[in-house]
Amino acid sequence: MEDEDFFPSLEVEELLERYAAGERDFRDTYFGDSDLTGVNLSGTDLSESDFTSTNFTNANLSRANLSKSMVMSATFECADLSYANLSGSDLTECDFSDANLVGANFSGSELFTAILRGADLSGANLSNVGLNVADLVGANLTDADLSGASLDSANITDANLTGVKNANISGAIIYTSTTMPDGSVVRNRQICE
């Protein structure tokens, strides 16, 4: 999945026309550097595709399948990815600020240096996810599964970790108030050991 030479390319207009006509299977397609701001692609199979540097701001990708995709440096600000499947994807440097990620499946994905500020990850599957140096300030991780996840140097300041399953927050950074899995609140800057 290196570049568009390995994927058939699809223009945004054609994608939207085919989606409007009822097509939902767009696997193995190149969408890199596309502007998909505000589009509705809910329930679509976009697996094993390339979305490098694509803009999905305010897009509806609820219940979409983006598994095993290259999605590096894409923007998902305020997007709806509730119950989406992003497992096994490279989401390095993606921006999910204020996104709805309720129940999303990120298992086995790489979210290195991703921005998840204010994102709602409640009930999300983050098992075996690399969240190193990720920005989770103000994120809601209520009841999320973090088993096997790496949070080295991740900023979880003001995050809600209530009910988080199997969280190992060693190496994570907390600057002010963060609600821990047991409901306790940690205050002041510290690096979890």
- From the number of C-beta atoms within 10 Å of its C-beta (0-12, 13-18, 19+), residue 170 rates as exposed
State the Cα–Cα distance between residues 112 and 192, nearest whole angstrom: 18
Q: How confident is the model over 93-152, as pLDDT tens digits? A: 999 999 999 999 999 999 999 999 999 999 999 999 999 999 999 999 999 999 999 988
pTM over 0.75: yes
Domain ranges of the chain: 1-193
The yes-or-no verdict on residue 175 having pLDDT over 70 is no
Report the alpha-carbon angle 72-76-79, nearest 5: 150
Task: Grade residue 74 by pLDDT with cuts at 50, 70 and 90.
Answer: very high
CA distances from 71 to 3, 78, 86, 124, 155 (A): 12, 17, 10, 18, 22
Q: Which fold has domain 1-193?
A: Pectate Lyase C-like (2.160.20)
| Cα separation of the two ends of the chain | 37
Q: Tokens representing 63? A: 């219940």
